Structure 1
Amino acid sequence: MAGEEPRLSVRGEAVIEAEPELARVIVNVGARDKSRRAVLDRLTRRDEECLTLVKSYGDAVESVETGGFTVFPELRGRRSGEKVARYHGTVRLTIVMNEFGALGELLTRLADLELASVEGPRWELRRDSEVHRRAREEAARSAVRRAREYAAALGTRVTGLLEMSDTAEPVTPFGYESAPLMRAAAMEMDSPPPLDLEPEMQIVRAQVQARFTLAPPEL
């Protein structure tokens, strides 16, 4: 339409590296015996032992949650009908740490518990981390800069903003990368040495799509 201002669509992007704020660890405590009651008793004792150890680290522990409890029978064989050879049981705990100084020590102590397995750490940022806001702001500024650069190349200027939309993935806003899971079986040691851990930098991404109006250029 004659007289309508030209329009420009651009994408603004930001990538920020940041130190992790949390470390997530998963512990599976197991038990097995021919007696179902013995399995339950052992699971209860080992679960309490694990929780006591974790809580001894005080405020360094952000949270500890029980994610699953399982007890199931193992049958002797196909021809044995419903005869049970033994029972298996597991309790799954999820531990989130906000201080990393004692994390290596806690991991080895957890792995040293009887019939315990450890997965982690998975390095993370908080959902409401300031880093996410910084990435969003930088993405918006990036879109404005890019629009002005295109306008300058055409010998004109940006006159207004029509629309700006966040194009990040909804499941994991701006994304992050975490360390691969480390698995450790229970170790038979009087005093297990602590792991030397190096927290992995988190990659935070933000992206916006923006539409601007331009003053008519003289081409």
Structure 2
Amino acid sequence: MTTPREAPPPTPYGTPEAPRLTVRGEAHLEVDPEIARIGITLTSRGKDRRTTLDDLTHRNTHTLDLIRSYGDAVRHIETGTVSISPELTQHGRGERIRTHHGTVHLTAELTDFTALGELTTRLADLTLTRVDGPWWDLRPDSPTHRRARAQAVQDAVQRAREYAEALGTTLTALLELADLGTEDTPHMAPAHHRMRTMAYSEAAEDTPAALDLEPQRQHVHAEVNARFTMAPPRL
């Protein structure tokens, strides 16, 4: 009784009967952003540590209430670092506490860019408040990422077909498809699209007009490597 022979393992570079073809597929998309982030820094200072802390707590509560008042336009709020530190001064042979400084860092993420301009202005108008941003981005589950990956695969197949046609043959099978990942542009906007950092020590008497912000277009790049086999060409 004879045992069937096992098929030989594929060679890394194909064979004359089944030549291999390796190509790279790419996709470049430019789309409008879906979310924007702003950073808010609240500051308080005073000679007494407890007074400084109470003032910082009040500012933090007031700022969070203001942000939350925009409802569904705000996708996410988070608190970063909180600090209360003394400022020392030289007095005679020793040191004394001159004043205390308190700081809270907040981040707000919005999906409504009209509300973003208004909220940014109102935040920047608060006493001892600094606003940084915005940083534009896409949602992590944005369909744009899926569209870019699909276009990269289609580009790889099209390239492979063109190479095969150039040899007078056709593709026969897909051996491997490797995702090289997607790359987005950095969140920081370029200088001409970036909102200026604003810091105010005193609030204005009247509420200022909302900023007219220009969203930064997002560039999404996807790449794949694909390996195919071809029917033997006639050379």
TM class by shorter chain equals: over 0.9
Letter in 1 for 2:146: R
Mapped partners of 1:193, 1:205: distance in 2: 37
- After TM superposition, give the deviation of residue 176 of structure 1 in Å: 2.9
Measured against aligned partners, the alpha-carbon deviations of 1:6-55 in whole angstroms (never above 9, x if no partner) come to 11110000011111111101100001111111110110110111011111
- 1:33: which partner in 2? 46
- 2:185: which partner in 1? 176
Answer yes or no: is the 8 Å Cα contact 1:72–1:89 preserved in 2.
yes
Q: Secondary structure at the match of 2:147?
A: helix
Mapped partners of 1:80, 1:192: distance in 2: 49
Measured against aligned partners, the alpha-carbon deviations of 1:145-198 in whole angstroms (never above 9, x if no partner) come to 000011111111111111110112xxxx43234325531112642211211111
Residues 1:210 and 1:2: Cα distance change in structure 2 (over 3 Å): closer
TM-score calculated relative to the size of structure 2: 0.86
Pair 1:19 & 2:32 matched:
yes
Pair 1:212 & 2:203 matched:
no
User: Larger deviation: 72-81 or 8-17?
Assistant: 72-81
Q: Which has the larger radius of gyration?
A: 2
Letter in 2 for 1:94: T
Mapped partners of 2:93, 2:159: distance in 1: 73
Pair 1:160 & 2:144 matched:
no
Q: Secondary structure at the match of 2:132?
A: strand
Within 5 Å, give how 1:196-211 maps onto structure 2.
196-211=212-227
Letter in 2 for 1:71: I
- Say what the alpha-carbon RMSD is for the aligned residues: 1.7
Answer yes or no: is the 8 Å Cα contact 2:17–2:231 preserved in 1.
no
Mapped partners of 2:117, 2:149: distance in 1: 33
Pair 1:88 & 2:97 matched:
no
Q: Secondary structure at the match of 1:174?
A: strand
Answer yes or no: is the 8 Å Cα contact 1:125–1:202 preserved in 2.
yes
Mapped partners of 2:78, 2:45: distance in 1: 23
Answer yes or no: is the 8 Å Cα contact 1:177–1:202 preserved in 2.
no
- 2:155: which partner in 1? 142
Residues 1:80 and 1:157: Cα distance change in structure 2 (over 3 Å): farther
Mapped partners of 2:70, 2:113: distance in 1: 11
- 1:126: which partner in 2? 139
User: Which consecutive residues of structure 1, in runs of 5 or more, have no partner in the other structure?
Assistant: none
Q: Secondary structure at the match of 1:150?
A: helix
Identity of paired residues, percent? 52
Within 5 Å, give how 1:100-115 maps onto structure 2.
100-115=113-128
Superposed structure 1 runs of 4+ greater than 2 Å apart: 1-4, 77-82
User: Which consecutive residues of structure 2, in runs of 5 or more, have no partner in the other structure?
Assistant: 1-13
Residues 1:60 and 1:152: Cα distance change in structure 2 (over 3 Å): same
Residues 1:80 and 1:38: Cα distance change in structure 2 (over 3 Å): farther
Mapped partners of 1:2, 1:11: distance in 2: 21
Letter in 1 for 2:21: L
- After TM superposition, give the deviation of residue 64 of structure 1 in Å: 1.0
Mapped partners of 2:87, 2:218: distance in 1: 43
